[in-house]
Structure formats: structure tokens, C-alpha cells
Amino acid sequence: MSLDSRRAVAATLLLCLAASQAAILVLTPVLPALASDLEVSTATAGQLRTVSGLSAGLTALCAGLLAARVGLRELLGAGLVFIAASSAISAVAPSFAVIAFAQLGIGIGVGLSYTAAIAAVADWTTPADRSGVLAIALLGPPIAWIVGMPLSGLVGEASWRLAWIAAPMAFSLVALAVLARRVSAPPASRRADIRVVLTYPGVVRWSTGELLAYSAWAGTLVFIGALFVESYGLSSGETGLVLGAGALVLIPGNLLFRRWIDDHGRALLVALALGAAVSVAVLGAFRPSTWFSLGVFSILAFLAGGRTLAGAAAGLDLAPELVLGVTGIRTAALQLGYFLGAAVGGLALAAGGYRALGLALSVLFVGATVPHLLPGAARNPHPQLP
């Protein structure tokens, strides 16, 4: 695989993942404003991610059934179209019920695009190039943070509705334009039935750990904007800039831990999750200043960036013959994690404030280590089809 070809694949998938992540993150800096405008509580508004997370998770679990019918480029394109159209509906939604309905389309788009993008890392590259392309492609979500979060916050100063146009809709249209340049490839030789994929050694353990870790991280993402607004009185624009700055460390977290993944992947998954558990508990319990909370959040984001890469690499090694099914499970874990994280986080926030929120998310991070500590949890890098 030539250098130019490798770069083109990595850049295309980076843009697709950035668009997908922008659709997830757009609510973070404008959540209080949206809640106030639509006359619901912040905790209730946070459940919009519950709706899209559930939709995305179910879509991802079914994506493998399309493996033998639709090529990865077409799946990516369909997902991006769903994101763009649903973002437009969200921007003009007259009520909370309408924007909640639009989140179903956002979820379908995220489920398709995220699943197909990670699967394309394996399908569009050689084994020797895979880890490098994966590391670059996974920079898409932090770039969505760094660019999309401040952008959403700044335009959200005028109206939270504009954030949907400036971030997920615009990102999706750019990704579609780049994706259109890629030549379509034939579908896979067989569909990736979820029942078959789950029979592979290690898949259930790995996906359980991913679900719990993503639930904790997603709960943080849903409510971190509100924490800064309600704890320190920041505007949505200031919140977007603060969170964008904190997300910068996702990039070195992604790149730094890459060198240890092949030899120490399981240990990394455990160590990074435990570090994140401590960080999120501190984030909720101690809020003496904006700078302190930003520092703790930055540490948490650094650890999350490394764990995301380690988890993705472990998944691609589990069942390479049915890669769309495996990445569908991973996307489902990520998006259902938003469902679980938003639900658990909302209940904890309503019951005991941000201290309870931090403790609840910390428990989820600790739970994510259990599947990797149980006997027989070692990686199975080259399983065979049954």
C-alpha cells in the first residue's frame, strides 16, 4: 500500500469519524440553553443522547447483516446523509418531542458511519498498515471536539439551533464530498451475523468491557458542559472553548499509547480504566475553580484517548473474517454506552448533584476492568470461522 493511498484512506475515515462524533457532541456546550428554550430540565434534555444512543446501538448491531449486500463506502455515505438530514431537522425543531424524534435519525447515521469507518480500516488497508491508519482515523473524534465543540459553543451564543448546522451538518457534508472520490468496492463475501460473531472467543468479554467504559466516558461527555456552566457560570461559548482545550490531550493520548498496544493491550485497558475512574470521581467531587476542573478533565480525556485506541485494536483482532460484525458490536457498545451513561448520569445528578454523578461514572469505569481481569481473558488474535 503506497504512502499516498494510506494517507487518503486515513484522511477519509478521519473525516467520517469526525462527522459522526460531532453529531454526538453538539449538545454538550448548548445543553442548558436548549433545555431552557424547550422548557425542560437539564437532566431531561440530557436524555436526547439516550434516544440517539439507543438508535445508534441497535443500528450498529444490525449493520453486519448488510455486509454481503452493501459496500462499506455506501454504508458510510448513507450514515453521513442521515446525520446531515437529522441535524437540519434538529435545528428547526419547534418542541422537545420533535428534536427527540430527530435523534433517532442521528442515531441511525452514527451507527452506520462509525461501524463502517472502523471496519474500513481493516478492509481498505494491509495488515502492516492497519495500526497506523487506525491511529490516524481515530483522531477524527478528538478533532470533532477541538474544532466542533468551540464552534458549537460560539454559534450557540446566538442560538443553540445554529450549533446543529455549524458542526454535525457541515462536517457530514465535507466528509460526503471526500468520500465520493473513493471508488466503490464490492460487499463482503458473507454477512456478519451478530449471533456468529458473539460465538468467537473473547468477543463477549471485550464488548462488555467496552460497554461499561463507554458508558462512563459518555456520561461524562453528556454532562461535562453543564458542570462548567452550572458550577462556574460560564457561557456556552466559554464552555465550548474550555472543553475544546481539554480535548486537545485526546490526540497525544491516542498516539502515545499506540506503541504499547500490541504487547500490553490487556494491561493498558485495565490501567487506563482505573485511572479514568479516579479522575472522574475527582471531577465531580472537587470543583474549586474552572482551571482545576479543566485540568482534571484533561487528564481524563488523555486516558480516554489511549483506552479508545487500545479497545479498537483489540476488537479488530478478534474476528477479522467478520470485521463489520465486530465493529458493529463496538459501535453498539459505544452508543448504548451513551444510553446507559446518560441514564445513570441523569439519575445520579438528579439525586445527589455532581458529586454523585462522578461517583456513579467512576463505578462504571471500574466495572470495565472486570472482564479483562477474569481468568481466560487473554486476547485471541486469530480465531477461525466455525
pLDDT tens per residue, range 127-160: 777 777 888 898 898 888 788 877 887 888 888 8
CA distance 116 to 119: 5
- CA nearest 112: which of 69, 186, 55, 167? 55
Whether pTM exceeds 0.85: no
Q: Do 247 and 139 meet the contact criterion of CB atoms below 8 Å apart?
A: no
- The answer to whether position 20 is within a domain reads yes
Average pLDDT over residues 289-302: 91
- The answer to whether position 378 is within a domain reads no
- The answer to whether position 379 is within a domain reads no
Domain that holds residue 142: 3-373
- The answer to whether position 73 is within a domain reads yes
- The answer to whether position 108 is within a domain reads yes
- The answer to whether position 383 is within a domain reads no
What pLDDT shows up at residue 384?
Answer: 44
What pLDDT shows up at residue 377?
Answer: 58
- The answer to whether position 147 is within a domain reads yes
What pLDDT shows up at residue 24?
Answer: 83
What pLDDT shows up at residue 188?
Answer: 64
pLDDT tens per residue, range 165-212: 988 999 999 999 999 888 777 666 566 677 778 887 788 888 899 999
Q: SS3 for the chain, per residue?
A: CCHHHHHHHHHHHHHHHHHHHHHHHCCCCCHHHHHHHCCCCHHHHCCHHHHHHHHHHHHHHHHHHHCCCCCHHHHHHHHHHHHHHHHHHHHHCCCHHHHHHHHHHHHHHHHHHHHHHHHHHHHCCCHHHHHHHHHHHCCHHHHHHHHHHHHHHHHHCCCHHHHHHHHHHHHHHHHHHHHCCCCCCCCCCCCCCHHHHCCCCCHHHHHHHHHHHHHHHHHHHHHHHHHHHHHHCCCHHHHHHHHHHHHCCHHHHHHHCHHHHHHHHHHHHHHHHHHHHHHHHHHHHCCCCHHHHHHHHHHHHHHHHHHHHHHHHHHHCCCHHHHHHHHHHHHHHHHHHHHHHHHHHHHHHHHHHHHHHHHHHHHHHHHCCHHHHCCCCCCCCCCCCC
How many distinct structural domains can be found in the chain?
A: 1
- The answer to whether position 190 is within a domain reads yes
User: Domain of 110: which CATH number?
Assistant: 1.20.1250.20
pLDDT tens per residue, range 53-88: 788 888 988 888 777 678 889 999 999 999 999 999
